[in-house]
Amino acid sequence: MLTVAAMADALFEEPRLAAVYDPLDPDRSDLDVYAAVTVEFGARTVLDIGCGTGTFACLLAGRGIQVIGVDPAAASLDVARAKPGAGRVRWIQAEAADLPPLQVDLATMTGNVAQVFVTDREWGAALRSAYASLRPGGRLVFETRDLAAKAWLEWNRAGSLSRAEVPGVGMVESWAEVFAVHADLVSFRSTFVFEADGTTLTSDSTLRFRRRGEVADSLRSAGFELDDLRDAPDRPGRELVFIARRPAEPPSGNGLPARDSRSRQAANPVYGSELVGGQ
């Protein structure tokens, strides 16, 4: 497994929290839109940026798709690698901006991944890295919550409190509470109480709620063309799904499509193993 030094929220980096992430959030119907676009665009190679505990990556791999899962959190990747079918996925511990040479059909950022890049510099670097990892004509698909919906108003203990019996762990109580809102930046604390031994762990996170025009502009700055903007099926009117495309390379002087250095490497059989396999 390729490893690049990186930092992540405790929710994903703390082993005890990573181990209960899936049991505490069992409904992943939000992934349906990504599975659907994989079929819609006939993607056979997929890069899952911010793959976390690997639910989506393993789902696609089980359908015969070649998948690379990338995440900075070692603890989340440990959970991912222990899942059935995980051996068919190539797992990379890295930030989104530090990807190896790839040339995939589709890149995804599911859940809140696109919103964790809180600065323009981080977001731009992630988009440029995704662009370089796509083949010409390949697509990037991600979601972002609509700023106007103000989803964070529901992020409080009363509205988010849940209890779940986790096999091998016992009862876990969890909730989230916002503690700061500054313009389009929302910070919140997730609290987890492990009733078996009374341990309480917390994880602080910040998400950026970009306006749709800002997102569209950032995509164009990274070289993408915005193909489509859709309502998220699981959160209609509250979340947007962006579908951006790396345009076909313009003809070079010899009439053949031009490629950047990363594309040349990925097209070379020597680098073909960078797509899947090996951990």
Please report, for the domain that includes residue 95, its CATH number. 3.40.50.150
Q: How many domains does the chain have?
A: 2
DSSP 5: -
Alpha helices in 25-73 (DSSP H): 32-40, 55-61
Q: Which residues pair with 107 in a beta bridge?
A: 47, 140
**pLDDT of 125-179, one tens digit each?**
999 999 999 999 999 999 999 999 999 999 999 999 999 999 999 999 999 999 9
- Which of the two residues, 257 and 48, has the higher pLDDT score? 48
Length of the chain (residues): 279
**pLDDT of 169-182, one tens digit each?**
999 999 999 999 99
* Same domain assignment for residues 120 and 38: yes
How far, in Å, CA of 127 to CA of 133, rounded? 10
* Same domain assignment for residues 103 and 233: yes
In a domain, 236, yes or no: yes
How far, in Å, CA of 118 to CA of 116, rounded? 6
Residue 261 has pLDDT above 90, yes or no: no
* Same domain assignment for residues 103 and 217: yes
* Same domain assignment for residues 119 and 230: yes
Residue 1 has pLDDT above 50, yes or no: no
How far, in Å, CA of 122 to CA of 179, rounded? 23
Among candidate residues 165, 198, 46, 187, the one with its CA nearest the CA of residue 109: 46
Neighbours of 223 (CB within 10 A): 14
Residue 267 has pLDDT above 70, yes or no: no
How far, in Å, CA of 241 to CA of 144, rounded? 7
Q: How confident is the model at residue 269 (pLDDT cuts 50, 70, 90)?
A: very low
* Same domain assignment for residues 60 and 194: no
Sequence letter at residue 202 = T
Q: Which residues pair with 191 in a beta bridge?
A: 175, 202
Q: pTM score, two decimals?
A: 0.85
Residue 227 has pLDDT above 80, yes or no: yes
* Same domain assignment for residues 158 and 202: yes
Residue 172 · residue 193 · CB < 8 Å: yes
Task: Please give the pLDDT value at position 250.
Answer: 56
In a domain, 167, yes or no: yes
Q: Which domain holds residue 163?
A: 149-208
Q: How confident is the model at residue 232 (pLDDT cuts 50, 70, 90)?
A: confident
In a domain, 259, yes or no: no
Mean pLDDT estimate for the chain:
87
In a domain, 196, yes or no: yes
